[in-house]
Amino acid sequence: MSDKMQIDGIEVTFSEGETVLEVAQRHQKEIPTLCYDPRLEPFGGCRLCIVEVEGARNPMASCTTKATSGMIVRTATGPIETYRKTLLEMVISENREVDVHPLSGYASGELADLRDKYAINEAKITGTKSGTTKDDDNPFILRDYDLCISCYRCVRVCAEQEGDHAINVMNRGFRTQITTEFDGLLKDSACTFCGQCIQTCPTGALADKKALRAVDEVVDATLDKTRTICPYCGVGCSVDVLTKDKKIVGIHPAMDGPANQGALCVKGQFAYDFVQHPDRLKAPLIRGEDGELHEAAWEDALDKAAEGFRKVDSEHGRYSVYGIASGRAPSEAAYLMQKFIRVGFGTNYIDNCSRA
């Protein structure tokens, strides 16, 4: 059931349970956010998304305030924009380096974008800073907490999206630090290296080590982005493959991917080296009399495979052959594969890796 409220003088409808931020965004209102990730439960930590609500004594965080019937909201008054600017100045005073490499992660430029939008003087507020960099010996995730602004998006994505709870917050105030159990290394924790924390971090404090290793001299404009599907399993997560000069340098999860909505596992996020690996097979190989593999024509390779199947069938019986189709093969190929086993061998010894 939809109800009505007013945003910046315009009457809009909303559904029960929607927040003011969600309604405003649906009506093309640009409200700045930092601790907000639309996939996560609202947190209300950064207060950047404050709006004026008529009748309320103080500005309210739009990401945690539910829309109610008759509500009158103003999203960008002079005082509200001044509050936001001051909040941003305080947040940025925590961060040693606002401009980060574009390959750090999907959201890593959010703080820098807001700094530019609000023309923030980075040196206006100075003083004690929190967070110390963790020298973490793992191949995938850089943990540079000098850049951390304690938005806790990483902690929440790990708990809410991944169900992993591998990281959490230690201490309070200027001693606040994102950490693992017993403050150890990620590889000794429950972390599965899915990379979700990297992709939600708005400052690059958590960054994609592998992508950063691949290319130093990269600016956003030199990267190509190609939307495709992870080739590993039947979930079919959507990804944006980042390439420079036709070489894969990183993967961004597709936040609008219908199957994954921004989530990936370690394979989809990091295991793309096979694409350009020199050992990758590009033609069929047949093992010769000399015991070595030799490149062959498809016709010969298929004849050889058929000969092998017939031999196994006649020597060991039809139940000695078991077919597993690839989750990434098209439906037509999966259909042919089960026909091959069911009709060719007369068994139901057929499966698909998507079930694994």
State the Rg of the chain over Cα. 26
158 binds ligand SF4 (CB under 6 A): no
Q: Which is nearer to ligand SF4, 73 or 251 (CB)?
A: 251
Dihedral sign of CA atoms 185, 188, 194, 197 in order: negative
Q: Judged by CB under 6 A, which of 92, 207, 223, 237 binds ligand SF4?
A: 237
* Residues within window 200-229 making contact with ligand SF4, judged by CB under 6 A: 200-201, 203, 205-206
Q: Please give the single-letter amino acid code of residue 337.
A: M
Nearest residue to 170 (alpha-carbon basis) of 159, 179, 161: 179
Q: How many residues of this chain bind ligand SF4 (CB under 6 A)?
A: 24
- Select from ligand SF4, ligand FES, none the partner in contact with residue 61, using the beta carbon and a kind-dependent cut-off of 5 to 8 Å: ligand FES
By the 8 A CB rule, do 107 and 200 touch? yes
47 scored as a contact of ligand SF4 (CB under 6 A)? no
Tell me how far apart the 2 most distant CA atoms of the chain are, in Å: 88
Q: Which does 233 bind (CB under 5 to 8 A by kind): ligand FES, ligand SF4, none?
A: ligand SF4
> Do residues 207 and 201 touch, judged by C-beta distance below 8 A?
yes
Distance in angstroms (rounded) separating the CA atoms of residues 306 and 321: 12
Of 59 and 202, the one with the shorter C-beta distance to ligand SF4 is 202
Cα dihedral 53, 54, 59, 65 sign: negative
Return contacts of 70-74, CB within 8 angstroms, 24+ apart: 70/4, 70/5, 71/5, 71/6, 71/20, 72/5, 72/6, 73/5, 73/6, 73/7, 73/8, 73/20, 73/24, 74/7, 74/8
Stretch that binds ligand FES, among 38-46, 134-142, 213-221, 284-292 (CB under 6 A): 38-46
The residues with which 252 forms a beta bridge, in sequence order, are 240
Among 5, 24, 46, 239, binds ligand FES (CB under 6 A): 46
Does position 44 bind ligand FES by CB under 6 A?
yes
148 touches, from ligand SF4, ligand FES, none (C-beta below 5 to 8 Å by class): ligand SF4
Query: What tokens does 242 get?
Result: 């980042």
By CB under 6 A, name the one of 60, 166, 191, 230 that touches ligand SF4.
230
Q: What's the 3-state SS for 298-331?
A: HHHHHHHHHHHHHHHHHHHCHHHCCEEECCCCCH
Binding range to ligand SF4, per CB under 6 A, among 53-61, 134-142, 182-190, 234-242: 234-242
Give, as one character, the DSSP assignment of residue 40: S
Q: Which does 153 bind (CB under 5 to 8 A by kind): ligand FES, ligand SF4, none?
A: ligand SF4
Residue of 51, 166, 191, 233 that binds ligand SF4 (CB under 6 A): 233
Q: Is 337 one of the binding residues for ligand FES (CB under 6 A)?
A: no
CB-nearer residue toward ligand SF4: 7 or 151:
151
112 binds ligand SF4 (CB under 6 A): no
Within 163-182, which residues bind ligand SF4 (CB under 6 A)? 178
> Binding to ligand FES by residue 47, rule CB under 6 A?
yes
User: Residue 241 interacts with ligand SF4 (CB under 6 A)?
Assistant: no
Cβ atoms of residues 67 and 23 within 8 Å: yes
**Residue of 7, 23, 149, 334 interacting with ligand SF4 (CB under 6 A):** 149
Secondary structure (3-state) at 178? strand
46 binds, among ligand SF4, ligand FES, none (CB under 5 to 8 A by kind): ligand FES
Residues 265 and 319: their CA atoms lie apart, in Å, by 35
Residues in the site for ligand FES, rule: CB under 6 A?
Answer: 33-36, 44-49, 61, 63
Residues in the site for ligand SF4, rule: CB under 6 A?
Answer: 148-154, 178, 200-201, 203, 205-206, 230, 232-233, 235-237, 260, 264-265, 267-268
